[in-house]
Structure 1
Amino acid sequence: MTKTTQRTMPAQNADERAMLEGWLEYHRQTLAAKCEGLSDAQLRTTAVAPSGLSLLGLVRHMAEVERHWFRRILVGETCDPIYYDEADPDGDFHTGEQDTYAEAHGTWQEEVEQARKNAARHALDDLSVGKGRSTGEPFNLRWIYTHMIEEYARHNGHADLLRERIDGTTGD
């Protein structure tokens, strides 16, 4: 299988912002690479019962996460969820036969691009418009970047296991 997703390791001597952005981009690229070369049916393949986790669900989830942190929280934009609602709060993870990688990947990339634009207008110490549910306090951009790196890293671990289950592909 030919890989087309290029992953770029973050510079080892970058300043703080470039380092945070570099690691976030690396993890975004990693998720894309884990999905590469699979059919929609394979991407909808779930882990082991009772888990409904799939690679397609992870991509949809990360579109929601990008939207939440860089649009709702950072800049205070009012925007509806993409894949979930009150009736199905985990709808991003619940995929059906009609759900395609082309749609999910396109939506995810649109959210990533908007995230980049919103973040570019802020310094690392700038505080978000939105506030934390438990603390009622805003977040600085540095915290949001760090959280997003953690979110992707955790889910990329899931993606590793899912990909191995689907076709035996392993590696970073």
Structure 2
Amino acid sequence: MTTERTEPAQNADERSMLEGWLDYHRDTLAWKCAGLTDEQLRTASVPPSDLSLMGLVRHMAEVERSWFRRVFAGEDAGPLYYGDADPDGEFHPGEADTWKDAYETWQTEIAAARRNTAGAALDDLSLGRHHSHPQPCSLRWIYTHMIEEYARHNGHADLLRQRIDGVTGE
């Protein structure tokens, strides 16, 4: 795995620290997926779970879209992968789904997150709401939540990757 990760500065201001840790965890997920084939990335390698590395990346694209576009910016941004027929569709990549497409979609949502938060203060409140959080959320809370979300799923990714080819990491 060759994806570069940069640890956040230990003496940065709060905003830089939060953005640094979020980027570190984004890079960690990409690092866990590096060097694998589409088939390996679609492999649910810890039965009976149907969780796969590609599914995690697609899920994080949905999570980025939800919190930074729908919730923080109040955009009307529909789902990417899920719907009524498959409420967990992001976790179910099919034979035609590719890493290239999943990665590009994820990166597009990360870029939208950066655009939507540029110039915003950490205390700024969301314009939209999340179904599980009916009150407005501060940008600080969203950043903290996203770091937690990535950290948890990076633990899953580590186990999935180890099961696929034995590669471990920190």
Give the TM-score category using the shorter length.
over 0.9
The answer to whether residue 103 in structure 2 is matched with residue 105 in structure 1 is yes
Please tell me whether the aligned partners of residues 45 and 160 of structure 2 are also in contact (alpha carbons under 8 angstroms). yes
1:31-110 equivalence runs, <5 A: 31-110=29-108
1:136 & 1:67 partners in 2: Cα distance? Answer: 17
Structure 2: state its 5+ residue gaps: none
* Bigger share in strand: 1
* Segment of structure 1 superposing worse, 89-98 or 132-141: 132-141
The answer to whether residue 129 in structure 2 is matched with residue 131 in structure 1 is yes
Q: 1:167 to 1:120 in 2, by over 3 A?
A: same
Letter in 2 for 1:114: A
1:135 & 1:155 partners in 2: Cα distance? Answer: 21
Q: 1:134 to 1:162 in 2, by over 3 A?
A: closer
Please tell me whether the aligned partners of residues 25 and 150 of structure 2 are also in contact (alpha carbons under 8 angstroms). yes
Please tell me whether the aligned partners of residues 56 and 91 of structure 2 are also in contact (alpha carbons under 8 angstroms). yes
2:47 & 2:83 partners in 1: Cα distance? Answer: 24
Q: How many residues align?
A: 170
CA RMSD for the aligned pairs?
1.0
1:105 & 1:132 partners in 2: Cα distance? Answer: 25
When normalised by structure 1's length, the TM-score is 0.96
Structure 1: state its 5+ residue gaps: none
Residue-by-residue CA offset, 1:4-27 (whole Å, 9 max, x unaligned): x11000000001000000000000
Structure 1 partner of 2:120? 122
Q: 1:108 to 1:14 in 2, by over 3 A?
A: same
Between the aligned residues of both structures, percent identity stands at 68
Letter in 2 for 1:125: D
